[in-house]
Amino acid sequence: MSMEEIQEQIITEFSYFDDWLDRYNHLIEMGKSVPLINEKYKTKNYLIGGCQSRVWLHAAMKDGVIIFSADSDAVITKGIVNLLIRVFSGQTPDTIIDADISFIDEIGLKEHLSPTRSNGLMSMIKQMKLYALAFKTKSANQ
């Protein structure tokens, strides 16, 4: 599926929930199914700074696309990570670098987009794009 299609899918999914309670319950559900990071990556090196909860993120390049895995000690954060992984994992570096993330606004999670240090969504997206950039540069240099 293209990234746009996945985003559309997520938007549709969330559109079934009228209120915050159901949206968050859904997010919590999603938090349970996050592609878990290998325990050996749950170290300082893979920690994303600037989150109130701890988030570990790992990325690997496979057949021209990037595969992300992650974990967090907070469940809502895990849910958000899962959303991002659904969108970004399996995409090419270029797609990720140019990705528009306005779908987060549309599913009513805009509050997590604020440029603060209190939540990690922006940091996570930044880190994912940085990984993409790094892989792109690396393959260009090969």
Partner 1 sequence: MTFDINKIRSDFPILQRKIYDKPLIYLDNAATTQKPQIVIDRITDYYTYENANIHRGVHYLSQIDTTAFENAREYIARFINAPKKEEVIFTKGTTESINLVAASFGRKILNKDDEVLVTAMEHHSNLVPWQMLCYEKEARLKVIPYSDKGEINLSTYQMMLGDKTKIVALPHISNTLGSINPVKEMIRMAHEKNIPVLIDGAQALSHLKVDIADLDCDFYCCSGHKAYGPMGVGILYGKTEHLNFMDPYQTGGEMVEHVTLYETSFNEIPFKFEAGTPNVEAVLGMEAALHYVEETGLDEITAHEKNLLVYGTKKLQQIKGVQIYGKAAEKAGILSFLIDDIHSFDAGTIIDKFGIAIRTGHHCAQPVMNKFGIPGTVRASFAMYNTREEIDKLVEAILQVKKMFG
Among 13, 33, 111, 137, interactor with partner 1 by CB under 8 A: 111
What the block records as the tokens of 41 is 């990556």
State the catalytic residue, choosing from 37, 51, 85, 121. Answer: 51
Among 4, 15, 28, 105, interactor with partner 1 by CB under 8 A: 28
Footprint of partner 1 on 58-77 (CB under 8 A) = 73-77
Q: Which is nearer to partner 1, 23 or 136 (CB)?
A: 23
Say if strands 55-62 and 65-72 run parallel, antiparallel, or are unpaired: antiparallel
> Exposed e or buried b for every residue in 89-114, given b needs 16+ CB within 10 A?
bbbbbebbbebebebbeebebeebee
β-bridge mates for residue 60, sequence order: 67
The yes or no reply on residue 94 touching partner 1 (CB under 8 A) is no
Annotation marks residue 52 as catalytic: no
Q: Could you identify the residue written with the tokens 């987009």? A: 113
Q: Which of the ranges 10-18, 24-32, 86-94, 133-141 carries the binding residues for partner 1, by CB under 8 A?
A: 24-32
Judge residue 7's burial from the number of C-beta atoms within 10 Å of its C-beta, 0-12 exposed, 13-18 middle, 19 or more buried.
Answer: buried
The yes or no reply on residue 82 touching partner 1 (CB under 8 A) is no
Helix (H, G, I), strand (E, B) or coil at 128: helix
The yes or no reply on residue 13 touching partner 1 (CB under 8 A) is no
The yes or no reply on residue 127 touching partner 1 (CB under 8 A) is no
- Interface residues with partner 1 (CB under 8 A) are 20-21, 24-25, 28, 49, 52-54, 73-77, 111, 114-119
Residues with a catalytic annotation lie at 51
